[in-house]
Chain A
């Protein structure tokens, strides 16, 4: 399941159109849709992007992203004023920085342990990490406990989202675009190229003098930073964080989002997140009842089936389907650039 990763140049026009549409969305859609679908899809996309970054450019499929975003979210929630946790009542912006620092440090530390493992071992260790974070916050009642931290204070910039979701939406949008640009830019730097080399041929890279473990650890740290951003965004969205927000189901859901969108394309993160948010919300009404096998309560079966179908048929996810359609369309046109499938930009 290794379709080629894109190293083509960023299509600025496409990005501009999408961002423009997103910016204009408040004029087109209702507040509910803006809040529950779009804002949520944006921060879920950031979380999935951290996973995709590691998978696509580092060759490491990690299930630790939810654990890391849990660390960031819980740190933020504990540093500001809230119900529960230690309510240190810091300034929210300082708390944000604190949360990101903690998440990145934890990510680097854990990455150092996990970087020696590969493939399936790596997947399992990272899964164990996320579960550990879940249990940690469930059991340590001074930081969270099962009830979690409620009524978390938001930065003033976000205003009062229950009355006006726009500021929060725009902040989330700006952050998401920033993350996308950062990660795609990173892949073109020396570090990013080195990382992709490590992904493809670790032995050769080692022979060339690259410190493979260090590269992987750093990549993990970067992904931890991004996951931390998603974590804080999620706390801003929910205004609470509980162990239930970072349990095993959520870990699997982020993986599902990344795969549905396209595991090897950064855009896939947001495509998958949007699809997931739409299915999650609308399936409860539109899904017909089929005995006890299918029905509004069987959301997990539905998303599991969609996930299975995507993995079986289109390993590149929805973005992969899109690429395939474009490639076959292009094949029909006579082209001077020889070969059937396009070489660039896929």
Chain B
């Protein structure tokens, strides 16, 4: 692809227009622009955590885990249940009237449910892989259908067990709700520090694992040529199980983050599955860097479109979700495999 490729030129032109548009809007109200950008960045961080697990599983095993969103939500619900069961001060009369509004939680009250829930979801992921996916390796469509079936079942069972009302996971009382940044910008502490920080740490950790450890080497080799790896005598099944464990853990971890930053409710599973799909489609399946870029693209577009989709007098912010999908279609029209994707 030469630099004069028409698609590339068109892409750059569009990007230039968008950036110019944003600069104009930013100049109008800088404070709001900073807040909206931070919103987008923190959303992107959450999307990255969840999507990284999804792309890892696909990249190595060519498994589209359509139950990824269900694992996300289940992770959040498990952490919530653990938090209420182990750390609530008054035992209360039952789930509906005991009232958790006045209970305060210590740091352990958030971290331990986080760790346990993440671990449990990782194990569940391995179980799913061993029971349902191990024996039909290579049948992509069949595996996708199996995971769709699992997501339908798990989603309905979560509705039965946790109900339809939104709930959220409480943050430790010692953490401030928001912090005051320079320029009179107030931003949520949990979003800004914890979620953003976690995403950066996880990104770094994943990069180190993939690039520096033996496991990572095998994963990379397996992405390129599965049969060769197995021919070299490496226990491919163990590697797959490990990758699935890691991918599912990321979903669960994301669920706890999302359940604290946003909320837990039926429908969040499909919402985050779709988000992950969009992120990895944009970024390219199997590419961690692609997932980061895709997440940033989605998060920022989401946030900016919600606020800035006004042209003069017409307010089109209600159509922000459509813009998100237009982004997806636009990327695909130019790069059918995503920005950093490679053919299967």
Contact = CB atoms under 8 A, between A and B. Distances in A.
A304 B156 contact: yes
B139 to A, nearest CB: 5
A33 interface: no
Given A127-B277, A293-B157, A301-B153, A120 B148 contact: no
A121 B285 contact: yes
A297 B160 CA distance: 9
B278 A123 contact: no
Contacts of B150: 304, 308
Given A125-B332, A252-B148, A298 B156 contact: yes
A303 B148 CA distance: 12
B336 A121 contact: yes
A135 B321 contact: yes
A117 B149 contact: no
Interface stretch (B3-11, B17-25, B228-236, B322-330): B322-330
Contact of A307 (B58, B149, B321, B332): B149
A175 interface: no
A123 B145 CA distance: 11
B160 A125 contact: no
A131 B145 contact: no
Nearest to A63: B148
A312 interface: yes
A61 interface: yes
Contact of A308 (B146, B155, B156): B146
A182 B111 CA distance: 60
Interface string B263-295: 000000010001001100100010000000000
A292 B325 contact: no
A312 B135 CA distance: 10
Interface in A108-156: 113-114, 116-121, 123-125, 127-128, 131-132, 135-136, 139-140
Contact of A139 (B64, B139, B321, B328): B321
B153 A308 contact: yes
Interface in B180-203: none
Contacts of B161: 292
A123 B63 CA distance: 13
A119 B277 contact: no
A117 B325 contact: no
Given A131-B274, A312-B146, A113 B333 contact: yes
Contacts of A132: 322, 325, 329
Interface string A238-280: 0000000000100010011001000000000000000000000
A307 to B, nearest CB: 4
Nearest to B152: A304
B207 interface: no
A310 B330 CA distance: 37
A118 B329 CA distance: 15
B142 interface: yes
Given A128-B278, A135-B321, A311 B149 contact: yes
Given A128-B328, A301-B156, A120 B144 contact: yes
Contacts of B155: 300
Nearest to A140: B319
Contacts of A11: none
B141 interface: yes
A120 B64 contact: yes
A336 interface: no
Contacts of B149: 256, 304-305, 307-308, 311
Contacts of A118: 344
A259 B142 CA distance: 10
B277 A121 contact: no
A131 B277 CA distance: 12
A315 interface: yes
Contact of B140 (A114, A120, A128, A301): A120
A248 B160 contact: no
Interface string A9-46: 00000000000000000000000000000000000000
A292 B158 CA distance: 10
B318 interface: yes
Contacts of A116: 336
Contacts of B270: 248
A120 B62 contact: yes
A22 to B, nearest CB: 29
B284 to A, nearest CB: 10
Interface in B299-344: 318-319, 321-322, 325, 328-329, 332-333, 336-337, 344
Contacts of B64: 120, 123-124
A141 B329 CA distance: 23
A245 B141 CA distance: 26
A1 interface: yes
A304 to B, nearest CB: 4
A139 B318 CA distance: 6
Nearest to A115: B336
Contact of B141 (A61, A304, A307, A308): A61
A125 B152 contact: no
B325 A128 contact: yes
19 contacts: A1-B136, A2-B139, A61-B141, A116-B336, A120-B58, A120-B141, A123-B141, A125-B281, A127-B274, A128-B281, A128-B329, A132-B325, A132-B329, A135-B321, A292-B160, A297-B160, A304-B152, A305-B149, A311-B145
Interface of A: 1-2, 61, 113-114, 116-121, 123-125, 127-128, 131-132, 135-136, 139-140, 248, 252, 255-256, 259, 292-293, 297-298, 300-301, 303-305, 307-308, 311-312, 315
Instruction: Give the 9 A-B CB pairs with smallest separation, nearest first.
Output: A304-B152, A1-B142, A308-B149, A304-B153, A300-B156, A132-B325, A116-B336, A301-B156, A307-B149
Given A1-B136, A2-B139, A128-B325, 14 more contacts: A113-B329, A113-B332, A117-B332, A119-B140, A124-B277, A128-B328, A136-B322, A248-B270, A252-B152, A298-B157, A298-B160, A300-B153, A311-B145, A311-B146
